[in-house]
A = this chain, B = another copy of it.
Amino acid sequence: MTTLNKENLSPAAFIGVRGKDIISFGSGEPDLPPPEEVYKILPHYTDFKYGVIQGLDYLRDALTRQYPDSTADSFVITNGASEALDLTLRVISNYEMSQPKKVLMTKPYYYSYPRLVEFADMESVYLKTNQGRIDMDDFREKVQDCRAVLINSPSNPTGRVEAIPSLKEIESLTSEYGVFVLSDEVYKDLIYIRENYLIQGPHVVTINSFSKTYAMCGFRVGYFWSLDKKLVQDVIAMKTHTSMNTNILGQEMAFEATKVPRKFIDDQLKIWQERRDLLYAGLKDAGLDLWNPEGAFYMLPKIDNAADFVWDMFTKYNVITYLGDWFGAEGRVRFSYALDTDKIEEGLERINDYLDGR
């Protein structure tokens, strides 16, 4: 393992960094366990053969309940949302289209987006944000010249949720211009202000996952959804060669998760809200400037000398935070609140100690 230093810090470098006294506002993964139902099938599991590349049919069937007018054919089960995004971008990059190979996304962005766009031989075009949400004037100006738009609401790292009128305008403009919409909704079940709004349209792709809703990050079960039949087939055709079926046991566990009563999600949401309120109040009290978090489990306050803050908090105070620069947010630091309230309080104390001593 590489030794961490101020220059090589990254979200990936922090994976596996654990310790009794470490308070981590870093990793974007739930700390509470998955529903116990997903483990109950393990003792009697005996399958081992290749699965259908598109994914288990009964898992895809179960998912149709969340997507009006769709059938099991609209889904592809993938190695997390990451693979769904990667495959979609690679397929779209190979299409003959009048638009140049450009992908529109907000800045700040989820840190993998620009890299995935680059890996797919395309170019990222960044949207301005207002208070962490899409600046629609900027969107109207830039969308025509792009092949796809990446939407992430609720957003990692801003914790903001796009306004429904904005989403509706995105639907109509992309439909008019023949631009693909890639809507990364992995935080769809973690919204504090309203129900999730599912973007509609003939060239809409929804990217989703069992990782956040059911705390199944390590099992890497995500999915792609679209009513664009050619795109679905092209994604399957590529996955056939690049990774074949998604782990069959992970898919079975995900299927069990689809049967878990909604109460599981509602109970989790209450816990997330309590943590959000605590951390938001604490960071405000510490004098930081930040947006009110509406979804997901992140806050992105402004912090002077952010790189020093992240390094010093880690090395001197055993507190992990992520540098805003990794997400295209200079002068800010990302806090995940996927940790219990005792630890949030202890973390806030250490942050106040540090900020007071600056």
Residues of A within 8 A of B (CB): 1, 12, 15-16, 27, 29, 33-34, 39, 42-43, 45-53, 57, 79-80, 82-83, 86, 90, 112, 115-116, 119, 121, 215-220, 236, 238, 240-250
Contacts and interface: CB of A to CB of B under 8 A. Distances in A.
Contacts of A217: 48-50
Contacts of A53: 12, 15
5 contacts: A12-B240, A15-B52, A33-B48, A112-B240, A218-B245
Given A241-B112, A250-B247, A49 B119 contact: no
A50 B80 CA distance: 11
B247 A82 contact: no
Given A48-B216, A247-B219, A242 B33 contact: no
B51 A15 contact: yes
Minimum-distance CB pairs A-B, first 10:
A218-B248, A42-B42, A247-B247, A112-B241, A43-B43, A86-B242, A79-B243, A115-B241, A12-B240, A83-B243
B42 A86 contact: no
A115 B27 CA distance: 35
A86 B241 contact: yes
A1 to B, nearest CB: 8
A304 to B, nearest CB: 29
Nearest to A233: B2
A232 to B, nearest CB: 11
A354 to B, nearest CB: 27
A250 B119 CA distance: 27
Contacts of A49: 27, 29, 217-218
A261 B19 CA distance: 35
A173 to B, nearest CB: 28
A91 to B, nearest CB: 10
Contacts of A50: 15, 27, 29, 217-218
A15 B53 CA distance: 8
B48 A215 contact: yes
Contacts of A33: 46, 48
A242 B242 CA distance: 11
A82 B43 contact: no
Contacts of A83: 79, 242-243
B243 A82 contact: yes
Nearest to A236: B12
Given A50-B218, A247-B250, A248-B218, A241 B116 contact: yes
Contacts of A119: 90, 238, 241-242
Contact of A250 (B27, B241, B249): B249
Given A90-B119, A220-B244, A249-B250, 16 more contacts: A15-B53, A16-B52, A27-B50, A39-B46, A48-B215, A48-B217, A80-B244, A82-B241, A86-B241, A86-B243, A115-B241, A116-B241, A218-B245, A218-B247, A219-B248, A247-B249
